[in-house]
Structures are given as C-alpha cells and as structure tokens.
Amino acid sequence: MEQLQDIPKLYTAIAEFLSCLVIIAAYSGIDVVKKKPVQKIIALSLGFVSLIVIHYFCGLVSNILWLVGMTVAVSLMNILIKYILEISLSYAIYLGCKAFMFAELAAAFNWQIYYYYFVLGEYDTIVTRHLFCLVIYILFFVSFYKIEVELFPDELQKDNIVVTNKQLFTTILLTALFFVVSNLSYAEIETPFSGGGSGVEIFNIRTLIDLAGFVILEAIFIQKLEDDRKNELDVIKNILYMQYSQYRTSQENIDLINRKYHDLKHQLQIIKEENNQEKKNEYIDEIEEGIRKYEAENKTGNDVLDTILTSKSNVCLKHDIQLVSIVDGTLLKHIHVMDLCTIFGNALDNAIEYEIQLPEKEKRMIHVTVSEKQSMIAIVVENYCEEVVVKDNKIPLTSKKDKGYHGYGIKSIKYSIEKYDGFVNLTNNNNWFRVEMLLPKKN
C-alpha cells in the first residue's frame, strides 16, 4: 500500500510557533515583551528558526528519531512560553500541551483540505500551497486566540496558576496519547489501528483525533479553573470568618481591660484620698494620665474599627512598629462588621507581617487613613517597604514557601470591597507599599 504524503514540515513548524504566539498574546499581551524587548524578540526568532530546523531533520530520520525530534520541538515550545510569559515550568508545560495540540489540529486540517482539492486535483504548486496555508492558519489561529480570551478572561491576568503534579502528568499523558494515535497511520501503515484504502480514513483519523485532543485538553483546563475558583472562594470565606473570630476575641479582651482600668481608676482615687504624700500623688497622676491616653486611643466613631485598630496596635507595640491611624469610622457605618474585619484585618496583618522582617526598627511604620474624597470614601493602608512587591496592580510577590495559598488576603479585601461597588488599587512607590480602597459614599 502506498503511503500518503505527510504534512510539509515547514507548515508544522509554523503552526507550532503560531500556537506559542497565540498563548503568549492571550495570556499576557504585548506588555510582556516590553519588559525585555530585545531579549524576548531574539528568543522568539531563535525559537522559530529552531522549530523549522528540528522539523526539517524529523523528515529525514526513522520513526524512533522522529519521535525524539517531536519531543524536542514540544520542549522548545514549553521553554519559549515559560521564558516569554515568565511563569513556572509546570504552568508553561500545561499551556504548551494545549498549544501543541492545536498546532497539530491546524496543520492536519490544512493539509487534509489542500491534499483533497489541490494535490489530488493536480493543482498543486508552491504558490497555491503557501496561499492556502496562509488563509487557513489566519482563520484557525485568530479563532484560537478568541477561544482563549472568551473562555478564560479572568485567568489571562494571572501571573501564575498552580498546577499539581497529578494535573501535569495527566495533561502530558493525554497529549502524548492523542499525538501518537493521530500519527500512527503515517508512521506505520500495517497496524490494526492504521487507516487504509484511499487515504481519506488516514486524514480523518488524524484530524478528528487532534480535534478531540484539543477539546478534551480545553475541557480539563476549564474544570481545573472551576475547581480553583471554588477552592479560592472557600479559602476567602475561611479568612473572612477567621478575621471575624479574631475581632470577637479582641473585643472581649478589650472590654475586659476597659473594666479593669475603670476599677483601677476608682482604686487610685481612694489611695489618693488616703495618702497625701507629694511623690505618691505625682505617681498616681501619671497613672491616671496613662489611663486617659489609653481611653483616647482609636476612638474612630466606629466600635468595630476601634476594636480592630486597638488589637493591631497592641501587636505593633509588641514588635516596635509605629502604627499611625487617622480614621473617621463614621464613614463606614454601613459596612458589615465581617467585611470591616476582612478589609482592615487582612490589610494590617499583611503590613505587620512585612514590617516584622525589617531589621531596622526605626523603619517599621504603618499608616492607616479613612477619609472622604468628594463623593467617595478612601481607605488607605500603607507600610514602609524597600522592595518592589507589586507590579501593574497585581497580587504582591511573596517570599513564602507555599506559593499556592499566596495572595488570598488581598483577594479577600477585593471580594469585600467589590460588594459595595468599590475597587482596590495596589501601588509600590518611594519605599511605601500602598493598598488604596475607594467606596461610594452612602447617603
């Protein structure tokens, strides 16, 4: 049986490179190239040339070496995606498998249609091949880009998505399985699973299997992201309730302290009346002054905020952190107690966590302000920060070992702020990390 002519290797290389470009464009846009324009343009150029060279030699070797060459080509796609998008290797492979599967589909469909109408029809020329490939690839890869943007709008803004070893292994295994089965008829005709006859079956097998492979990988990706969203929501809810529990505990402790201080004032008054020694009176006056200062602290006009700020002030005092708050709590009377706990609790906890790490105690500073700006309420929590921990208003970078659970504090804040039609802005300028929250003022 005569073996049909396979896809020209140049077209396969172009399809794989275009798939990488679509993934890069969809998941980050042109801005990612602007960070290191020269290096990344050179990397893309070298990647394109390397894919062409790899596929050229794949067409000259045996089936075993051809599989090795294809493995190298896929690995190169993954490396390109990782380097340009600046993401983890596991996430790059996850996206690379999808890109490779779509490249196989585009190349198979293009060659199947062209072969049927032009090669068998004896209209095959270099010009018709290139023009037909150009049209098909434009249609396919523009569609690929729109599919990614429409299906995964929220994920396009994320720097990284955590991919477990199990998810990665499943994706690689399915990609390899679909690729081998779809190309089996071209590698070896005489097998129980190869197509025969006129060759139409071979084209159909490859194109349909590639289509099924791409659809299944997309479905797996969609399911993973849905699971991630559910897990993220659960974590945010847990953080919300944890902050609320901390607030309740702090409120009880502060109420107890207030009662003790109130009793102490009466006791001191009795002592003062019974002892008229000048030094003792001065000492007692100092104690009363300290009590008055304590009573005057964190009186914002909002009992919930008073409790939160007093609790966090005690933590800051313990770690030599200067906490300055200028807060009009009356502006936030309409915010639910659990949302206030989430907003201020997480923002202050994140700030305190960073400040504790600073070796120079005089640099440990946190500022909290709540004020009215025209028809908006501005909540600002800022802390001294010598590092660049945030870029383009995205979740701050972390030095924690557990990257998978990083950023949920900020996400919880955004979740609570957005409930009141507000928004959150993250900036990192002049050695200050700033979380600014704006809310419409409630009439």
| Mean pLDDT on 75-95 | 91
At 368 the pLDDT is 93
| Mean pLDDT on 94-114 | 94
Residues 197, 202: Cα–Cα separation, whole Å: 9
Cβ count near 20 (within 10 Å):
27
User: Confidence band (pLDDT; 50, 70, 90) for 337?
Assistant: confident
At 439 the pLDDT is 92
**pLDDT of 178 strictly over 80:** yes
Domains of the chain listed by start with CATH number: 9-235 (no CATH), 298-443 (3.30.565.10)
**pLDDT of 318 strictly over 90:** no
User: Read out DSSP for 369-407?
Assistant: EEEEETTEEEEEEEEE--S---STTPPPP---S-GGGTT
User: Confidence band (pLDDT; 50, 70, 90) for 195?
Assistant: low
Hey, which of 46-55, 63-72, 243-252, 267-276 has the most confident mean pLDDT? 46-55
Q: Virtual CA dihedral for 64, 66, 67, 72, nearest 10 degrees?
A: 130
3-state secondary structure of 174: helix
**pLDDT of 190 strictly over 60:** no
Hey, which of 17-26, 54-63, 227-236, 336-345 has the most confident mean pLDDT? 17-26
pTM for this entry: 0.62
Residues 394, 388: Cα–Cα separation, whole Å: 12
Q: Tens of pLDDT along 347-377? A: 998 899 989 999 998 999 999 999 998 889 9
User: Confidence band (pLDDT; 50, 70, 90) for 47?
Assistant: very high
Percent of the chain scored above 90 by pLDDT? 34
Q: Lowest mean pLDDT of 1-15, 38-52, 60-74, 285-299, name the range.
A: 285-299
E strand or H helix at 223, and its extent? helix 200-274
**pLDDT of 177 strictly over 70:** yes
**pLDDT of 404 strictly over 90:** no
At 293 the pLDDT is 47
CB-CB contact of 132 with 115 (8 Å): no
Question: 282 or 202: which carries more pLDDT confidence?
Answer: 202
Tokens of 252: 């009880």
